[in-house]
Amino acid sequence: MSDLRRIIWLASYPKSGNTWMRSLLAHYFMPPGKAPDINNLRQFTTGDTRADFFDAAAGGRYGGGGLEEWMAMRGRALRLIAASKPDHHFVKTHCQPIRLFDQDVIPPEVTAAAIYILRNPFDLAPSFARHQLCDIDTAIERMLSPDTVTGTPAGIYDLLGRWDDHVSNWTGAPGLPLHLLRYEDLLANPGRTMRALLERFLRVKVDGPKLARAVKATSFAAMQKQEEVLGFVERPQGMQKFFARGQAGVWRTDLSPAQVARLREGFLPALERWYPEMLTETAAFAASG
């Protein structure tokens, strides 16, 4: 059996910049003028919730069901995804690398490496609320719950769990070559952040002008414009805009002191590790209520 360790996971909690990263990589690696728009990213990357791969794995229409049925089919679907391209390729996931029903949700036998995109939970909460079509308090509740799972009508799931568990399970996965980047750093300096990913992790000799073109083509304004003109097939039904703001620091106007306090208390060890620069300001903001 051939080696199927071809998947480079693009992993994140939802609304952390995964679509932006897929677009950046597509615009960098594909020939000029050939990079897909936001609705055709599957030409370059794929995702682990693709119904067509589950249908192929099932030998017909995948009927879905509960988590156990999904896990029974997931391994087969991921092997088909891994085999769908002859070499390493990028696959989006929002799942955690945990075991469920005595199986790996992210199986080592199809995994080459992972890029993990991290976004601070204070900015994530209002964006996740829009994505989940719920209020911010409910979104925070879901981010704090180890049992948070989202799914498609076809019975294909994303095992999200708690935000901090999601981060620690990916960054602590044994034996997994992993590159972590923060959404905030990508916003502040996309060129430098992408150069570090390409050179240090993907071992690619960087073409400066090509990188500059990729950054320009995938600016937040450009992505918003595409959604405005073309729509966005991955936007959840009922969600008005997928590319809504794309900024860092929106928590200062979007969250109440009580909400900031709840996130801060719930995720303090992870914040101390990944966002130490936010600790003082969020503590003061939480206390102001």
pLDDT digits (tens, 9 = 90+) for 153-165: 889 999 999 999 9
Q: What is the mean pLDDT of the chain?
A: 89
pLDDT value, residue 118 = 97
Spatial distance between the Cα atoms of 272 and 274, rounded to a whole number of angstroms: 6
Collapse the DSSP code of 147 into the 3-class scheme (helix H, G, I; strand E, B; otherwise coil) and give the result.
coil
pLDDT value, residue 190 = 92
Q: Tell me the pTM.
A: 0.90
- Eight-state DSSP code of residue 23: H
For the segment 129-137, the average pLDDT, to the nearest whole number, is 92
Per-residue 3-state assignment (H helix, E strand, C coil) for the chain: CCCCCCEEEEEECCCCCHHHHHHHHHHHHCCCCCCCCHHHHHHCCEECCCHHHHHHHHCCCCCCCCHHHHHHHHHHHHHHHHHCCCCCEEEEECCCCCEECCEECCCHHHEEEEEEEECCHHHHHHHHHHHHCCCHHHHHHHHCCCCCEEECCCCCEEECCCHHHHHHHHHCCCCCCEEEEEHHHHHHCHHHHHHHHHHHHCCCCCCHHHHHHHHHHCCHHHHHHHHHHHCCCCCCCCCCCCCCCCCCCCHHHHCCHHHHHHHHHHHHHHHHHHCHHHHHHHHHHHHCC
In the chain, % of residues over pLDDT 90: 72
Collapse the DSSP code of 72 into the 3-class scheme (helix H, G, I; strand E, B; otherwise coil) and give the result.
helix
Tell me: pLDDT of 228 over 90. Answer: no
Tell me: pLDDT of 1 over 50. Answer: no
For the segment 56-85, the average pLDDT, to the nearest whole number, is 94
At 113, the pLDDT band (50, 70, 90 cuts) reads very high
The answer for residues whose C-beta is within 8 angstroms of residue 103's C-beta and 6 or more apart is 71, 74, 75
Residues 15/136, Cβ–Cβ less than 8 Å: no
At 247, the pLDDT band (50, 70, 90 cuts) reads low
Tell me: pLDDT of 86 over 70. Answer: yes
Spatial distance between the Cα atoms of 169 and 142, rounded to a whole number of angstroms: 17
What is the per-residue pLDDT across 166-214, written as a single tens digit (0 to 9) for each? 999 999 999 999 999 999 999 999 999 999 999 999 999 999 999 998 8
At 216, the pLDDT band (50, 70, 90 cuts) reads confident
| The domain over range 7-287 is classified in CATH as 3.40.50.970 | no
Tell me: pLDDT of 32 over 80. Answer: no
pLDDT value, residue 159 = 97
